[in-house]
Structure 1
Amino acid sequence: MRLVTVAHGTRSPAGNAVAVSITAAAGARLGLPAVAAYVELAEPLLSTVAASPMPSVVVPLLLSTGHHVRHDVGAGRALGPDPLLARAQVSRLLAAGAQPRQPVVMVAAGSQDPLALRDLLVATTHLAQAWGGPVRLATLGGLGERPADVLRPGDAVSPYLLAPGHFHDRCRDAAAGHVVADVIGPHPAVVDLVVERTIGLLAARRSA
């Protein structure tokens, strides 16, 4: 048995390295061989990894429900929303210099899928609970309001993005003049979440 994670993929080597780091750490914790795969823009592609006969448990590193989760990965659940992701976001906000309970705008890539917007609203609630202050949602595309329409003077920004790349660059540009946290990245809480999901999938497989 091996762990296969699935990230979107980006042309940014640093962005793809985030998935590799999370996957390696989770695999080491679980005592399983582990490989990070991608939907597009990076190698190895999920289609290539899935062609192996080795039994695998697949955990998406995609933060919201959407086309990639349902059609490309075929998984029933995205990585987010989850309180563990919110814990990582709080850590990134504090590291960037945001003040506790300062108003925060969570900026996500966005999607045309209503289920993705639902997930983002839940993620916003998780972050507000973890942060202890008001959090509003903005999206860079798809459904939802844009950062320019949501951001107010004095807001901090929490990118709801796993890795650096195109959307992270757009987020920083849209939030110029505000405190902008780093992407969620390979935070220990994210590794905890991948481990938790893997254990749950393995248990479900054994009981099936």
Structure 2
Amino acid sequence: MRAAHLVTVAHGTRTAAGNEVARALTAGAAARLGWRATTSYVELCAPSFAEVVARAGSPVVAVPLLLSTGYHLRQDLPAAVAAADRDDVRLGRSLGPDRLLASAQTDRLRTAGARPGQPVVMVAAGSTDPAATTDLDAAAHLLAQAWDAPVRLATLSGHGPRLADVVRAGDAVSPYLLATGHFHRKARHEALAAGASVVAEVIGPHSLVVDLVVERALALALRAVGVPA
């Protein structure tokens, strides 16, 4: 049977450290799976998803490192698969919402010094896609369950309230962002300006996110003919 080729696809950022998060997650998942793996990006960093899919070995299991549904998942990535003219590419859905991400967020909150029961504002990049809003609401609900305290949602762009309108003095803020970059810097600055007492780090290459990538890759492999799971 043919071995799978794991292709992850992150958004991409001009911040080098942010792009390293995708590479670390990909390497961690590949080591666990024993598969070949390549990291790709939607924009702002090379190689692009379209380039990788066009030349990757087959069959391809593509796991988006994107936290919510949006234009890239609905349009860009399916278009790249179609343009490659291959029938051996399995493209997954967004990583979130998922309980493993919520658990990783609670770890980041504790590490940043948030107190048990402290109210939290979850801040996301945001989108104009209504489906993304549904995803973010679900992610905030999962975080509230994992943190066992109230969680309110804010976004940095697109639909949804802004941090200045949501954060209350003494709140903790949990960035619903996978990697550092422009949105991370913006979230931290605006959260502290609004009175937050704690701002956690981005989710990053947390071991639980590696678990999630592996889980998604195996589920996609089961749908691909001839790929050992």
Normalization by structure 2: what TM-score? 0.88
The aligned counterpart of 2:55 is 52
The count of corresponding residues between Structure 1 and Structure 2 is 208
Report deviation, 1:54: 1.1
Give the residue type in structure 2 aligned to 1:23. T
Q: Describe the SS at the equivalent of 1:58.
A: strand
Provide the rounded CA distance (Å) in 1 between the counterparts of 2:224 and 2:146.
32
SS in 1 for 2:55: coil
1:7 counterpart = 2:10: yes
* Residues 131-187 of structure 1: per-residue CA shift (max 9 Å, x gap): 000000000010000000000011100000000000000001111142000000000
| CA distance in 2: counterparts of 1:152 and 1:182, whole angstroms | 19
Say whether the 8 Å CA contact 2:63–2:92 is kept in structure 1. no
1:193 paired residue number: 212
Partner Cα separation in structure 2 for residue 53 and residue 159 of structure 1 = 33
Matches within 5 A, 1:69-148: 69-74=73-78, 75=91, 77-148=93-164
Please tell me whether residue 181 in structure 1 is matched to residue 197 in structure 2: no
Distance change in 2, residues 1:53/1:133 (3 Å): closer
What amino acid maps onto 2:68 in structure 1? S
For 1:135 and 1:148, the matched residues in 2 are separated by 15
Which stretches of structure 1, 4 residues or more, deviate above 2 A after TM superposition?
none
Gaps of 5+ in 1: none
Q: Which runs of 5+ in 2 are unaligned?
A: 79-90
How much has 1:206 moved relative to structure 2? 3.5
RMSD (CA atoms) = 1.3
Note closer, same or farther for the CA distance 1:53–1:174 as it changes in structure 2 (3 Å cut).
closer
Q: Distance in 2 between matches of 1:53 and 1:35?
A: 8
User: % of aligned pairs identical?
Assistant: 61
How far does the alpha carbon of each residue in 1:53-98 deviate from its partner, in whole angstroms, 9 at most, with x for none?
5111000000000001111222451111100000100000000000
Larger Rg: 2
8 Å contact from structure 1 (residues 140, 146) kept in 2 = yes
